[in-house]
Amino acid sequence: MANRLAQESSPYLQQHAHNPVDWYPWGQEALDRALAENKPILISIGYSACHWCHVMERESFEDAATADIMNRHFINIKVDREERPDLDGVYMDAVQAISGSGGWPLNVFLTPKALPFYGGTYFPPVRAYNRSSWREVLHAISSAWKEKPHEILSQAENLTAHLQNANLFGNSQTSDAGISEENLLTMAQQLLKSADTTWGGFGQAPKFPQTMTIGFLLRQFHFLQQKKDTASLPFAPADLLKQAELSLQKMMAGGIYDHLAGGFARYSTDARWLAPHFEKMLYDNALLVGALSEAYQLTRHPMYAEVIHQTMRFVQQEWQSAEGGFYSAYDADSEGVEGKYYTWSKTELEAVIDDAEAARLFCAVYDVSEHGNWEETNILWTPVAVEEVIAASGWEADAAHASLSESREKLLAHRQQRIKPLLDDKKLLSWNAMMIEASCKAWAATGESNYLAMAEKAAAFIEQYMRHEDGGYFHNEKNGLAQNPAFLDDLACYVSALLWLQACTGNTDYLLNAGRITELIFRDFNDNESPFFFFTPAWQQDIIVRKKETYDGATPAGNSVMASNLLQLGILFNRTDWTERAIRMLAAVQQAVNRYPNSFGNWAMCLQTQVYGMHELAIVGPNARQMAAEVLGSFIPNKLVQQTVMPLDNWPLLAGKPATGNTLLYACKQYACQQPVSSVAAFLATLQ
C-alpha cells in the first residue's frame, strides 16, 4: 500500500512511496503532528541517483519490523536534496558538526520544533563497518527522548546556535587588502603541490572532476604566458597547462567517461578514474563541457572537440525534453546492481562484436579481460594511449579506428536493450542554467550551431514553465508542475547563462532579463551585515537557519557566481554600486581562497578577473554576429562581449559607436576604447 510520497513529483520520493515507513514529505502537516504528539522527527535526505540511499532503503526502509519502530516512535520525513538544497545544507552542517563527516543518505533526528540533535549518514541493518545498526540507533534515540528530553532539547539549541554562528562568515567588513597577482601565484603553487601528476586531478581517491580548479589553471597559464619575463615565477607556466590537460585527458580516458554514449559519471572511487560511482548528473556534464571547451580553445587539440560533441549529443538525446528543459540525472544502479548497465563480460562483448580480430583489438584498447578489471566484470577505459595500442596490434591506423568505431556502435545498440538506470526527469533551474552556459561555451569553441539552439530552447523553457506570474522563478519543474521558490544559486546561475546568451546572440532581451533578476536577488536575498547573499529568500519561513553559501563544491557557490555576474553587469548597465558590491565580496573571501584554493575554484577565477582586468569588447555593424562568433571562439577568459548590427546608444558600452558601413571591433577597459579595427585577427592582436 502506498504512503503519502505517492502524491509527490520527485522521482526520489516516489521510490519510497511503497515503503512500510509512514513517510511524510517536508511540510506543515508533518511538523504539526510532531508538535501535537511530542515526537522527535526523523528527516531522511537523499537523491534519486544515490547508490547508498538505495542500499539503506532495501535493508531498512523496506523492512516491516524496522518500519514499525520508526512509525511508533518518530515522525518520518523524506526529502529530495535536489528539490530542497536549503534543508539539506542546514542539516548536513549539523551532522558534520556532530560527526566530522557527511554524505547521503543523510539521516538526522530533530526535536518537534525541527532543531537537530543527532544524525549520521548510512546505517547498516546490523552492526557493521564500525557503525551501530539502524535499529540500535532508533531504540537509543527513542529511549533518550523519553528519559531525558531536557538534555536533548539543550543539545539541539546549542547545535542550532553553533550553526547560526558558523554562518557569520563575511560579516566583518574586510577591506581590500590588495588582491594581487602574487596571491594568484601562491594559489597556483598550492594547487600544483596537491596535484596527482601521474593520473591527473588533485589529491587521492575518491576523485571529483574539480572543473573550476582546472579552469583556474588554464586561465593562469594564459595570463602568465603573455608575460615577457617568467624566470622569477615559482613554477613554469607550462606546468599549469600540463596539469589541467593531464586531468582532463585522464578523465576522458577513464571509466568515469562513457566511451559508448558520451557523458561523464559523477566521480571516481579510485585514483585512476577507472571505477566511477556510475550516476550521471547534469551539472557535472555541464561543468566538464565548459572546461573542455576552454581547453579546446586554448590548445586546439581535436580530442577535446570529440568529447564535447559526444557529451553534447548524449545530453541532447537523453536529457533535453521536447519542451527544452534538461533532466537531472541517471541513477548509478539498474536492476538493483551498481553499474550493471555499463559493464561487460568479455564473453558478452565478443559475442556482440561478432568478429574475433575486431573484438581482440577492442579488448586490447579498452582493457577488457576474462577476469575483469572491476569486481569480476569490465569497465571500458583506455589506460594506455589508443594510438600506442594500435601500433602494437599490427593493425593499420585508419582500419583500426574504423573497426573500433563499428564495435562501439554495436555495443551501444546492444546496451540500449538492457534495462536502463532510472532517469530523474525533474528539471532544476540552477542545473539547467549551467547546461545553457555550457551549450553556449561549446558553440563558441566548436562553432556547432545546434548547441546554441539547445541553449536558447532551454532558456525559453525556463521562461514558459519555471517563471511565476510575479516575475520570480521556481526551483524545480516536472510534468508541467513547478514547485519551491528559486534559491540564490538558481537565480545567480540563470543570470550567468543569460549573460552568455546575450554575448552569443546579441539579443539584449537576455541582458534586460539578467538585470531584472539581479534586482530581484538584491530585494529577496540581500544581507545588510555582509557583502554576501543568503541562499534562501527573506520571506521563506520553514528553515531554522538562513545560510550564506560561499564554498565552491561540486557546483559553484551562488555567491561566487553573483560576484562574477556583478563584475560584468556593473559594466554593462554602468552600475558602479554593483561593481563595488562584487569587489567587497572578493575582498571578504580572498584570504580563504588564498589558503584553500581547491575549495574556492570559482572565486579564484573571479579574483583573476579582478587582478588582470576585464576586456570590454564591443562589436558593431552588419557582420557583428559572424565576427562575434570568431571572437568568442578564441580563448579570452576575462572578456565581456556586446554585439549589435544596429545603433544601440542606450547601452553604455555601445553608445556612440556607429553601426553603418564596416563592422568595427572595439577593445575597451572601463569604457575607454582603443582605435577600432575591422578584422578579427587585428582585434585579437590588440588584446595581447
Instruction: Tell me what the mean pLDDT of segment 522-530 comes to.
Output: 96
pLDDT at 233 over 70: yes
Least confident of 59-68, 300-309, 671-680: 671-680
Residue 99 CA from chain centroid, whole number: 26
Q: What share of the chain is helix, strand, coil (3-state, %, to 5)?
A: 50, 15, 35
Q: Which of 5, 123, 128 is nearest to 63 (CA)?
A: 123
What interhelical angle do 282-299 and 302-314 show, nearest 10? 160
pLDDT in tens, 609-639: 999 999 999 999 999 999 999 999 999 999 9
Q: Which residue has the higher pLDDT, 167 or 141?
A: 141
Sheet with 329-330: strands ordered across: 280-281, 329-330, 423-424
Say how far apart CA 441 and CA 451 lie, in whole Å.
Answer: 9
What is residue 562's predicted lDDT score, i.e. its pLDDT? Answer: 98
Q: What is the pLDDT of residue 313?
A: 98
> pLDDT tens, 95-125?
999 988 899 999 999 999 999 999 999 999 9
pLDDT of residue 276: 96
**459-474 pLDDT, tens per residue?**
999 999 999 999 999 9
- pLDDT the model gives residue 1: 78
Are 633 and 297 in contact by the 8 Å Cβ rule? The answer is: yes
Taking the C-alpha atoms of residue 277 and residue 307, their distance in angstroms, rounded to an integer, is 20
Sheet strands side by side (includes 481-485): 427-428, 474-478, 481-485
Supply the mean pLDDT for the chain.
95
Return the SS3 of 45.
strand
Distances (CA, A) of 559 to 90, 496, 517, 549: 17, 12, 15, 7
- Strand segments, DSSP code E, in 74-221 are 75-80, 106-110, 116-120
C-alpha distances out from residue 383 to 133, 254, 295, Å: 40, 7, 21
Q: H-helix or E-strand containing 254?
A: none
By CB atoms closer than 10 A (0-12, 13-18, 19+), residue 169 is middle
The pLDDT tens digits of the residues spanning 254-282 come to 999 999 999 999 999 999 999 999 999 99
pLDDT at residue 133 is higher than 90: yes
Residue range 187-212: mean pLDDT, rounded? 96
CA gap 23, 4 in Å, rounded: 6
Confidence of residue 492 (pLDDT cuts 50, 70, 90): very high
Mean pLDDT value of segment 487-513: 98
pLDDT score at 366: 98
Identify the residue whose cell numbers are 593531464. 246
Q: Look up the pTM and report it.
A: 0.96
pLDDT band at 170 (very low <50, low <70, confident <90, very high): low
* pLDDT value for 317: 98
Q: Which of 317, 185, 215, 300 is nearest to 263 (CA)?
A: 317
For the chain, percent of residues with pLDDT exceeding 70:
99
Cα–Cα distance, 396 to 378 (Å, whole number): 26
Query: Distance between CA 479 and CA 482 in Å, rounded?
Result: 8
Query: 644, 656 in Cβ contact below 8 A?
Result: no
The pLDDT score that the predictor gives to residue 172 is 59
- The percentage of the chain sitting over the pLDDT mark of 90, rounded to a whole number, equals 92
Q: Which of 423, 569, 526 is nearest to 15 (CA)?
A: 423
Q: How many whole angstroms separate alpha carbon 571 and alpha carbon 151?
A: 55
Q: What is the pLDDT of residue 174?
A: 54
Sign of the C-alpha dihedral computed for residues 549, 550, 553 and 558 taken in this order = positive
Query: For residue 207, which amino acid is it?
Result: K
Instruction: Kindly report, residue by residue over 6-40, the tens digit of the pLDDT.
Output: 999 999 999 999 999 999 999 999 999 999 999 99
* Measured CA distances, 311 to 284, 315, 500 (Å): 11, 6, 20
> Of 131-135, 309-313, 671-675, which has the strongest mean pLDDT?
309-313
Mean pLDDT for the stretch of residues 432-439: 98
